[in-house]
Amino acid sequence: MKINLSKYSTIGLVSLLSLIIFVIPYSASLEYSLRGKFGKGHDLTNYLWIFHQEGFLSHLSLSLELGLLAGLLNLVLMVPTATFLHLSLQRYKSLVDFICILPLMIPVVSLAVGAEYAMPSFLQNSQMELVFFFVILALPFTFRVLDSALSAIPLKTLVEASRSLGASWPATIMRVIVPAAKGGISSAFFLSFALGIGEYTITSLLHWDTFTTWTVDISQQNVLGSIALSTFSFLFAIALLVTIALVSSNRKKKQKELGETS
Amino acid sequence: MSKRVTSGSELVISGISRAFGAVQALDRFSLTIAPGELVCLLGPSGCGKTTALRIVAGLEKSDAGTVMIDGEDLLAKDANQRDIGMVFQSYSLFPNMTVAENIAYGLRVRKKSKEQINKRVAEMLELVSLQSKMNSFPHQLSGGQQQRVALARALAIEPRVLLLDEPLSALDAQVRTQIRDEIRRIQIESGTTTLFVTHDQEEAMAISDRVGVMQHGRLEQIDTPNTLYNKPETTFVAGFVGITNYIPSVADSKNEVQVLGQVLEISEHSSVVKKGEEVRALVRPESIHVEKASHGAKIITKSFLGPMTRVGVDAGLAELIYAEMSSKEAKKFDTGDHVKISITTEMVMVESV
């Protein structure tokens, strides 16, 4: 068997870089966060300290709620938009593309202050306004993900087939487009979700308190605890993404098995 | 096999037009399809046949005209409210659904009961002989199987009219013939009024009750395949349907023409000609008789077509003249043989040069 040396050397190089950039710092953080009182021994003291801090669960659940709502709102807004852009409004695609890029071009301070004033007053007084900011911040990424996901499926004929069979537009989007482009749609959702639960700048500028701002405040009280907190946040995000990936691959596997046994 | 015969619906298309910028895709196009009839629209690319079909389906807007099913105007309705089944060239099965789920889709959106859906899906699976594939996903099926599922899905909703948009174009030759016959069998069994669009004349002739030949957004002629082939009303139809020799000739009078030294009558629907005018006579290959000779025209090509054989004869004209004969008779001839050719019909269609 011929061994492809260049392929193996590329894999080796990428692994080495990953080790230097990710594995070493995170391993060091993990080791540091597990150190006992006064740096002696290893135990879960610092992690237990996080869970006992006031507001841990309330801030975490608020961030999860805001992230979830941002992810859903993003899909409700962008899936139909991207669908119609692909089907019949191709000429407006570059305009929408430009609008979606604006959150990367406009300084966050201007965005926060400007958009805050544009919000209806009942939203200005509610933490729910953050959902809209998270949606805006995620637009540059979610639009591109959805755009390429919809380009990868025969969208026009699927929509026409669904419509000719009697389905309304909402039914066509929910029953045909969403499942056919679910890879891209779930990526768009998790991008907004992840951005929502990790966003700090706008939340802090608008004087709201979420898990990220709470993390910064609490970190100032305990050095080892702050390391434990950042490690916990990182592992929590990884666990969330791995769970989602596993659920999605299990569903794919089940579909495949069902097809093969028929 | 369960047999369901419906009365079918009458489809009347009157004077529909559609322009895309400067291109007039459809120009006052009219067509009436009787209940239970299968009509094929045949024509070259860009002739407007698919546009006509998409307007009937509600997937394209019409600039003028009406589309009626059983006297009900369709143009005011959205595509999802027309009760029309459609089969596409690219199958367009929903990739996330099994065969059974694809067939059930139209019934689900109509909120039929579970029992009704299961019963109808079973009937449709039996109709297209795919019971064993009911739990398969589209990517696990061959092209022919996918198109049968698409047909079952379109018929499951008991459409008033079935539209088929080049449904066999993506299939290989052998499967194409098989699915073509299956479509016709199912269409007759279900009694569904059907409009079929294709650019393949053999397909159109084999499957249809009537064939409409289109050019430049208009219907040139609509008739039974037999009449269309034997009595074309325009030179375009004569040339587009079947193989035709265009033989340079000279008009003897406005009623007679000299073709290959023979004086023949000019058929109706020909171009208006005057004495001495140079014209082209349209002659089918089966109307050319070939016999051995010691000199003169020469056989250049010989194509075996199963029971028939086609020979290409160089008669000193710009193009070869093609003649068809039984393969048994063709054994007498080889390429390079000298032959004499004559026309066996008494009447030919002519067009001005």
A151 and A225 share one domain: yes
pLDDT at residue B241 greater than cutoff 90: no
- Which residue in B has a C-alpha nearest to residue A158's C-alpha? B92
Looking at residue B3, what is its pLDDT? Answer: 42
A49 within domain boundaries: no
Contacts of B269 (CB under 8 A, 6+ apart): B232, B233, B234, B349
For A251, the closest chain B residue by CA position comes to B96
Please, is A187 exposed, middle or buried when counting C-beta atoms within 10 Å of its C-beta (0-12, 13-18, 19+)? middle
- pLDDT band with cut points at 50, 70 and 90 for residue B195: very high
DSSP B267: P
Q: CA–CA separation, B46 vs B301, rounded Å?
A: 32
Which region among A113-127, B33-47, B213-227, B251-265 has the lowest average model confidence (pLDDT)? Answer: A113-127
Whether residue A245 lies inside any domain: the answer is yes
Residue A31 lies inside a defined structural domain of this protein:
no
pLDDT at B118: 93
Q: What is the pLDDT of residue A254?
A: 56
Determine the Cα–Cα distance for residues B269 and B71; give it in Å rounded to an integer: 34
Question: Residue A209: is its pLDDT beyond 60?
Answer: yes
> Given this model, what pLDDT does residue A185 score?
86
Report CB contact under 8 Å: A164, B86: yes
Q: What is the pLDDT of residue B163?
A: 93
Which tokens hold the place of B195? 């409009």
Q: Does A41 touch chain B (CB under 8 A)?
A: no
- Residues A124 and A232 both lie in one domain: yes
Mean pLDDT throughout B50-55?
A: 93
In what order do the strands lie in the sheet containing B38-42?
B84-87, B161-165, B193-198, B38-42, B210-215, B218-223
Tokens at residue A195, please? 């951005």
Q: Residues B260-270: what's their mean pLDDT?
A: 87
Instruction: Render pLDDT for A151-174 as a digit per residue (tens, 0 to 9).
Output: 888 888 899 999 999 999 999 998
CB contact under 8 A, B92 and A157: yes
Query: DSSP letters of B243-255?
Result: --EEEEEEESSSS
Q: How confident is the model at residue B42 (pLDDT cuts 50, 70, 90)?
A: very high
Asked if B85 lies within 8 A of A262 by C-beta distance, the reply is: no
Exposure letters A15-50 (e unless 16+ CB within 10 A, then b):
eeeeeeeeeeeeeeeeeebbbeeeeeeeeebbbebb
Q: What is the pLDDT of residue A152?
A: 86
Q: Residues A20, A109: one domain?
A: no
Flag whether A133 is in a domain.
Answer: yes
Q: Residue A171 falls within a domain, yes or no?
A: yes
Task: Tell me if residue B259 falls in helix, strand or coil.
Answer: strand
Report pLDDT for A5: 65
Higher confidence at residue B115 or residue B3?
B115
What pLDDT sits at residue A261? 45
Residue B173 has pLDDT above 50, yes or no: yes
Q: Provide the chain A residues 93-152 that lie in CB contact (below 8 A) with chain B.
A: none
Within chain B, all domains assigned CATH 3.40.50.300 are found at 11-236
* Domain B11-236 CATH superfamily: P-loop containing nucleotide triphosphate hydrolases (3.40.50.300)
A32 lies in a domain? Answer: no
Q: Grade residue B4 by pLDDT with cuts at 50, 70 and 90.
A: very low
* A39 within some domain: no
d(CA B242, CA A77): 54
Mean pLDDT along residues A221-229: 83
In this predicted structure, the answer to whether residue A260 has a pLDDT above a threshold of 50 is no
Phi, psi of B42 (to 5 degrees): -120, 140
Q: Report the mean per-residue pLDDT for chain B.
A: 89
Contact assessment for residue B316 and residue B296, using Cβ atoms and an 8 Å cutoff = no
Q: pLDDT of A72-105, one tens digit each?
A: 999 998 888 888 888 888 888 888 888 888 888 8
Strand partners, B165: B197
Give me the amino acid identity at B13.
Answer: I
Could you give the number of structural domains in chain A?
2
DSSP A124-177: HTSTTHHHHHHHHHHHHHHHHHHHHHHHTTTHHHHHHHHHHTT--HHHHIIIII
Is A158 part of the contact surface with chain B (CB cutoff 8 Å)?
yes
**Greater pLDDT, B227 or A251:** B227
DSSP B54: H
Do residues B281 and B349 make contact, with C-beta atoms less than 8 angstroms apart?
yes
Q: A233 and A166 in one domain?
A: yes
Q: Looking at the structure, do residues A6 and A115 belong to the same domain, yes or no?
A: no
* Nearest-neighbour CA in chain A from B137: distance (Å): 6
Q: Where in chain B is the domain with CATH 2.40.50.100?
A: 244-352
Is A202 in contact with A114 (CB distance < 8 Å)?
no
The Cα A72–Cα A75 span in angstroms is 5
Q: Is residue B263 predicted with pLDDT exceeding 50?
A: yes
Is residue B326 very low, low, confident or very high in pLDDT (cuts 50, 70, 90)?
Answer: very high
Q: Which residues of A touch B88 (CB under 8 A)?
A: 157, 160-161
**Stretch A175-182: mean pLDDT:** 87
Domain extent at residue A136: 57-261
Element (H, E) at B300: strand B288-305
Model confidence at A23, pLDDT cuts 50, 70, 90, reads: confident
Shared-domain flag, residues A71 and A167: yes
Contacts A157 to B, Cβ<8 Å: 88, 90, 92
The per-residue pLDDT for range A94-142, each reduced to its tens digit, is: 888 888 888 888 888 888 888 778 888 887 778 888 899 898 888 888 8
> Greater confidence, A200 or B326?
B326
CA atoms within 13 A on the CB side of A228: 23
- Structural contact between residues B88 and A160, judged by C-beta atoms closer than 8 angstroms: yes
To which H or E segment does residue A121 belong? helix A121-124
Contact at 8 Å (CB) between A154 and B96?
A: no
Q: Are A210 and A59 in contact (CB under 8 A)?
A: yes
Reply yes or no on whether the pLDDT at A1 is more than 60.
Answer: no
Helix (H, G, I), strand (E, B) or coil at A66: helix
One domain, residues A16 and A80:
no
Establish if A261 touches chain B: CB-CB under 8 angstroms.
yes
pLDDT in tens, B299-323: 999 999 889 999 999 998 888 999 9
Are residues A145 and A253 both part of a single domain?
Answer: yes
DSSP A82-106: HHHHHHT-GGGHHHHHHHHHHHHHS
Partner residue facing A259 (CB), from B90, B135, B150:
B135
Task: Quickly state the pLDDT bin for A2 (edges 50, 70, 90).
Answer: low
Say what the ipTM of the complex is: 0.80
Q: Are B156 and B104 contacting, i.e. CB atoms less than 8 angstroms apart? A: yes
> Between chains, do A164 and B80 touch, taking CB under 8 Å as contact?
yes
Does residue A162 belong to the interface with chain B, where contact is any CB pair within 8 Å?
A: yes
Mean pLDDT of B146-174: 88
Q: How far is CA B350 from CA B28, B285, B315, B347, in A?
A: 28, 15, 19, 10
Residue B217 has pLDDT above 70, yes or no: yes
Q: Which residues pair with B291 in a beta bridge?
A: B340
State whether A173 and A236 are in the same domain. yes
Cβ A167–B105 below 8 Å, yes or no? Answer: yes
Q: Is the pLDDT of residue B255 over 80?
A: yes
Supply the pLDDT for residue A120. 81
Residue to mutate among A88, A165, A173, A186, with most B CBs inside 10 A, is A165
CB of A170 within 8 Å of a chain B CB? The answer is no
Better-scored residue on pLDDT, B4 or B66: B66
Amino acid of residue B281: A
Of B59, B96, B106, the CB nearest to A166: B106
Give me the torsion for CA of A162, A164, A169, A173, rounded to 10°: 10
Q: How far is A159 from chain B (nearest CA, A)?
A: 9
* Chain B: residue whose CA lies nearest to A160: B59
Domain-embedded: residue A86 = yes
What would the mean pLDDT of B246-272 be, rounded to a whole number?
88
Q: In a 3-state reduction of DSSP, which class is residue B190? A: helix
Q: How far is B209 from chain A (nearest CA, A)?
A: 25
Is residue B18 helix, strand or coil?
A: strand
> Residue B21 and residue B345: Cα distance in Å, rounded?
46
Decide if B74 contacts B58 (C-beta within 8 A): yes
Contact in structure between B290 and B320 (CB atoms under 8 Å)? no
Question: Hey, of A164, A182, A251, A262, which one would you mutate to test binding to chain B, going by the most B CBs within 10 A of its CB?
Answer: A164
Q: Which class does domain B244-352 fall in?
A: mainly beta
pLDDT tens profile B61-107: 999 999 999 888 988 899 898 989 999 888 889 998 999 999 999 99
